Amino acid sequence: MVFAKYRAVVFVHGCFWHYHRCHLSKLPGTRQSWWKQKLEANKARDAKVVSELQKLGWRVMTVWECSIRKPRADRKSVLDDVTRAVDEFLKSETVLAEIP
């Protein structure tokens, strides 16, 4: 999501595809070396994109899937917490933030 008014970008990353290495990002049982290479390339691309955005003066926040998909947690409460954290980020001077 792009918030031009705040010169900020908020990424919402799926843990598997962006290789977060949490409980949601397990490698598949087959072709593990191929998957590991693919996911590590995704992670490297993400880092490059964040670096390029920062060089252009943009602030970046990443919200990880696992921060939203918490077992046995009240979904509304979790989303309210994430929304509050994003709001605080947007109104701050923080350059780089993450909700793990």
pLDDT tens by residue, 2-42: 999 999 999 999 999 999 989 999 999 999 999 999 999 99
The total of other beta-carbon atoms located within 10 Å of residue 64's CB is: 21
The predicted-structure confidence for 67-94, as pLDDT tens digits, reads as follows 999 888 899 999 999 999 999 999 999 9
Q: How many folded domains does the chain comprise?
A: 1
Domain of 61: which CATH number? Answer: 3.40.960.10
- In this prediction the pTM is 0.92
pLDDT of residue 72: 84
CB 34 within 8 Å of CB 87: no
Give the domain range for residue 46: 2-99
For 54-94, the DSSP string reads HHTT-EEEEEEHHHH--TT--HHHHHHHHHHHHHHHHHS--
